[in-house]
Structure 1
Amino acid sequence: MNRPARLAAAVLTASMAVLTTACGSGGGDSSAAPIKGSDAGDGKTSAVPSASASPGGVKRPEIKLSPDFRADFENWTNSDATLQAILNDGREELRSKYAAIIEADPESKAVAFYNSDATRATARRWIRQFTDDGDSIIGRVRVFDPQVRLGDTGSGVLFYCVDEREASTKNRKTNKVVKTPDKPESLVQYRLRLDKSSQGVWKTTSLTTVPGACS
């Protein structure tokens, strides 16, 4: 996505291949072909549970988005409990970054909670591209077509698409709004690998974004 509208495909430099503008070296299973037969769900937008409803007894951070911005997760359900847990934590990883942009907080504890050492620094650099320019985000993104499975090593593999065409950046001082271009590149595929921590949290350990892959 062209600056300054750059929700996901911002200009990024990733030493460990996370959050890249094109198809970076995500490593492991995260760069594999799209996953088939992943039990996507019933087609409805999934509700987002509160922190108090977190599974497994782990206290997860509460993530709130501004009323001016929505992230709608469609078909975000799976009949397998482990795969559902991966979906849940993958969803919250993305929401934590949106919330950090809105709150102008690159050091967000929620971002740190859902990211490993390998991805945390790059996630924060992405957030700072907004906060350094004084920008927040408004509008709506649609997060859809989740494909999830367990890899041969026990890592979670999660692919999903984000449609950013109804979202915009808004400058905090000038109130200038820049809309996301209505182009195929504004539909971005995310490819994640997640590993389960000792606390039972599926942390993102690699992430690649591919603009236009979902068009």
Structure 2
Amino acid sequence: MNHPARLAAAVLTATMVVLGTACGSEGGDSPSDPIKSAAGGDGKTSASPSLSASHDGVKRPEIKLSKDFQAHFESWTNSDPKLQAILNGGREELRSKYAAIIEADPESKAVAFYNSDATQATARKWIRQFTDDSDSIIGKVRVFDPQVHLSDTGSGVLFYCVDERQASTKNRKTEKVVKTPDKPDSLIQYRLRLDKSSEGVWKTTSLTTVPGACS
């Protein structure tokens, strides 16, 4: 069975869970230099993430993406150190989910590291949409237009856009490629709330995606 590309992140509200998806169109196998999945022997990622100390002393999981999938974060800097830390937390939360799909590891420790209990289950459910069907992801996404601030309660609020039009899913068994369609709904706005844990990690505590909200 062929499946559409589903790169949009899981949508989470306080009381209900909805999965956001980007409808795809079928694409054939690459005519030359076929891309193997991480489980297939080529385009491998690293093994389970290892912990490394960051500049703030927090031991963080190392997240590596396959050479066959790239996530480009544009203008992902802020002169305010606290806002930069929130940006970093949001970036690594997204990268952890991409890496979990590529590694076929829905129980990824990195996903748990950057998600609260409230969002972790939904993130893993989204990842399993790929892994249960033996799908990985290839190509590239562009992550841009970050908007970040602190709320009155001290939570981080982060909006950003993801352009998925140059990304595809690839089946690990059949190598069938399903391309993300080139249409406005493939530009998705992510809306996150992040809260700082007692360990000093900005974890995602709610996440909503809005397909077509970015131009």
Q: CA 1:15/1:199 → structure 2, altered by over 3 Å: closer, same or farther?
A: closer
CA contact (8 A) 2:96 2:110 kept: yes
CA contact (8 A) 2:52 2:61 kept: no
SS in 1 for 2:192: strand
Aligned to 2:181: 181
TM-score calculated relative to the size of structure 1: 0.81
CA contact (8 A) 2:9 2:126 kept: no
1:112-191 matches, cutoff 5 A: 112-191=112-191
2:137 matches 1:98: no
1:1-215 matches, cutoff 5 A: 3-8=3-8, 16-17=15-16, 20-21=19-20, 52=52, 54-215=54-215
In 2, the alpha carbon distance for the partners of 1:156 and 1:209 equals 17
Q: CA deviation at 1:9?
A: 5.5
Q: For residue 202 of structure 1, what is the amino acid of its counterpart?
A: W
Listed one character per residue, the Cα deviations across residues 134-175 of structure 1 (whole Å, up to 9, x for unaligned) are 100000000000000000100000000000000000000000
CA RMSD in angstroms comes to 2.0
Q: CA deviation at 1:113?
A: 0.3
Q: CA 1:162/1:141 → structure 2, altered by over 3 Å: closer, same or farther?
A: same
Q: For residue 92 of structure 2, what is the amino acid of its counterpart?
A: E
Q: CA deviation at 1:68?
A: 0.1
CA contact (8 A) 1:194 1:203 kept: yes
Q: CA deviation at 1:54?
A: 1.9
CA contact (8 A) 1:137 1:168 kept: yes
Listed one character per residue, the Cα deviations across residues 26-45 of structure 1 (whole Å, up to 9, x for unaligned) are xxxxxxxxxxxxxxxxxxxx
Q: For residue 167 of structure 1, what is the amino acid of its counterpart?
A: A
Q: For residue 214 of structure 1, what is the amino acid of its counterpart?
A: C
How many aligned residue pairs are there?
185
In 2, the alpha carbon distance for the partners of 1:160 and 1:17 equals 22
In 2, the alpha carbon distance for the partners of 1:137 and 1:183 equals 19
Q: CA 1:175/1:181 → structure 2, altered by over 3 Å: closer, same or farther?
A: same
CA contact (8 A) 1:18 1:206 kept: no
Listed one character per residue, the Cα deviations across residues 118-139 of structure 1 (whole Å, up to 9, x for unaligned) are 0000000000000001100000
CA contact (8 A) 1:156 1:194 kept: yes
Q: For residue 158 of structure 1, what is the amino acid of its counterpart?
A: L
Aligned to 1:32: none
SS in 1 for 2:161: strand
Structure 1: where are the runs of 5+ without partners?
Answer: 23-49
In 1, the alpha carbon distance for the partners of 2:201 and 2:9 equals 26
Aligned to 1:45: none
User: Percent identical across equivalent pairs?
Assistant: 83
Structure 2: where are the runs of 5+ without partners?
Answer: 22-49
CA contact (8 A) 2:9 2:19 kept: yes
In 1, the alpha carbon distance for the partners of 2:87 and 2:12 equals 26
In 2, the alpha carbon distance for the partners of 1:149 and 1:51 equals 28
Q: CA deviation at 1:17?
A: 4.6
> Going by fraction, where is strand more abundant, 1 or 2?
2
SS in 1 for 2:152: coil
CA contact (8 A) 1:65 1:98 kept: yes
In 2, the alpha carbon distance for the partners of 1:125 and 1:211 equals 19
SS in 2 for 1:207: strand
